Amino acid sequence: MVHAQKVLRQKPTWSHFEAHIDHALRYGYDQTLRGMYSRGVDDQPATDTDKIWWVQAELLAALTDALQHENELEYAEAFGGIAVVLAHSSDAASRQSGAFSRAASCGAPDEAPLRSSSLFCYCAPSREVAISKVVLSLV
Q: Which value, to the nearest 10 degrees, does the dihedral of the CA atoms of residues 44, 69, 17, 114 take?
A: -70
Q: Consecutive sets of 10 residues in the chain, 139 residues long: mean pLDDT of each?
A: 88 94 95 91 91 88 92 93 75 40 52 41 51 63
Residue 36, pLDDT score: 92
pTM for the model stands at 0.69
Bridge partners (DSSP) of residue 52 are 102
Taking phi first (over 0 means left), then psi (-120 to 50 degrees means alpha), and beta for anything else, what does residue 108 get?
A: beta
